Chains A and B, each alone.
Chain A
């Protein structure tokens, strides 16, 4: 096999990692600011995917504008759902013991997953790729799906956008300040609880966007939420909880790792994320980009 095959494998792996990054960055962001591990994050991602499916049946099929509209509306809807969850529920558990947080978010996972079952049923569904992205691009003598290339563009855009938001805007400064010195930010007259709500909504927005992108990449069913939250945990453990850069690195390690591990060990691909996670926990328990807890 020539070098181009490995390049092809790399691109395919990166495109898989990008969707994972978008979802995992939301989980990591929420943890970084609110110190809550949101088990229901995968369910929000699944709701995004199913919402995209339902909305797509109302829009003209095959049009790129329909798809862009999905990418615009669905994450907003999931963010609004996040608002509806944050104010009555999450707000009460910030700073409480982990067991309580775990109970609440896990209960939410069960409730949201069953709500999906009631609304969308057990059918396997997907969103048709828009015509513009449905074909493939010739890559040496291989074919790369255009949609994967599209995801390869959207993923870094989101990463750059998040970086810009967190490090170059006032809102980002507030979020970061709320992480490190919540009391001081409050003393300076900033409404900390509003910052927290906004951060939670941003996390949900990212979950929703990941759901839309996934709905056209692969099939969606009632199992994808649970599947994704486990992958996301692997990502944030590898990258470091609370670090966006770590989420990016962790996602890409998983995406590319799964792609390459198959060559020598075809059956190891499924266990690779867990193996990588276990390895990191042994040698660097706080993750690649994380800081050790004091």
Chain B
């Protein structure tokens, strides 16, 4: 009996192996080490939607170089070491030619340490110092809880707070978000006036019945850059594609952008504005009077990047 089972098992394995070999020929497998838990969860959900929409659209249009895109996801658990293991697994076992993500490994490190959900014990002491402006490295869900909990203490009657006000955070805070706060955002769809963004937002809203978050737009842009590079390299092999990345020009949702030749940093800037209500968006505030700060003003100069690299 046992021998029979082993034989069946080996046959199944062999079939699976051959199936995967056959698949490898006409698909481009994209591995994604995603930050699924905790503060990463909201980002994960919206990124996944945008990535799946991009892959669906691209495959419907015949794929890239005639090959279909395929997504393989692994959970990095917001831990850099887990992320590294998962990345290896994606490359070696899942035969992924390209890896995308994670959202923010550096921030993830800080966040897992700061995993605080109850800020109330600390708010009175903060108020006693009578701050005019609160600058915080809280972001996402943590920032949202802080604002919600601090509001009934009347903190924002006297002080203003500034941080990253991305769409996920604004949605999570809802109408508890105070008006008139100065903050910044990575890729607020409502402040980008390109035609491609309009089309994307319309399709996204139709498909998912919600507005695309900053992270959704950025994930979509990332895939635009990747597929542009694959087409330019005329190859789906990562070693060929990496050669064309430096200086690559691609048409992002935010308009034409490029990857800096020296370190492949994309020239994507920041959007700074004041929180305000908008009749078009129910249940959350957006940034108004948005000023775009181009990447060239905020990114680390190449010389300094070189200095930091080992």
Contact = CB atoms under 8 A, between A and B. Distances in A.
B97 to A, nearest CB: 29
B73 to A, nearest CB: 14
Contacts of A263: 125, 128
B38 A122 contact: yes
Contacts of A121: 37, 41
Interface in A277-294: none
Interface string A128-145: 000000111000001111
A13 B121 contact: yes
A113 interface: no
A144 B153 contact: yes
A262 B125 contact: yes
A5 B128 contact: yes
B117 interface: yes
Contact of B127 (A126, A136, A142, A258): A142
Contacts of A106: none
A135 B152 contact: yes
Interface stretch (A182-190, A217-225, A232-240): A217-225
B135 interface: no
A147 B118 CA distance: 14
Contact of B153 (A136, A218, A221, A224): A136
Interface in A5-47: 5, 8-9, 12-13, 15-16
A221 B228 CA distance: 39
Instruction: Determine the interface band of chain A, counting residues with CB < 8 A from chain B.
Output: 35 or more
A124 B39 contact: yes
Interface stretch (B81-89, B141-149, B186-194): B141-149
Interface residues of B, number: 30
Contacts of A262: 121-122, 125
A1 B36 CA distance: 45
B120 A148 contact: yes
Interface in B13-37: 36-37
A146 interface: yes
Contact of A122 (B41, B121, B125, B153): B41
A45 B157 CA distance: 34
A125 B154 CA distance: 23
Interface string B109-126: 000000101111111110
Interface in A136-192: 136, 142-148
B42 interface: yes
A266 B125 contact: yes
Tell which of B40, B128, B144, B172 has the most Cβ of chain A within 10 Å: B128
Contact of A124 (B117, B122, B124): B117
Contacts of A1: 128
B121 A259 contact: yes
A218 B145 contact: yes
A217 B153 CA distance: 13
Contacts of B142: 124
A123 interface: yes
Given A16-B121, A143-B154, A218 B38 contact: no
Nearest to B140: A124
A73 interface: no
Contact of A12 (B115, B121, B157): B121
A136 B151 CA distance: 9
Interface of A: 1, 5, 8-9, 12-13, 15-16, 117, 121-124, 126, 134-136, 142-148, 214, 217-224, 255, 258-259, 262-263, 266, 269
CB-based closest 4 A-B pairs:
A122-B37, A143-B154, A145-B152, A218-B118
11 contacts: A123-B42, A217-B118, A217-B149, A218-B145, A218-B149, A219-B141, A220-B117, A221-B117, A221-B141, A223-B115, A262-B122
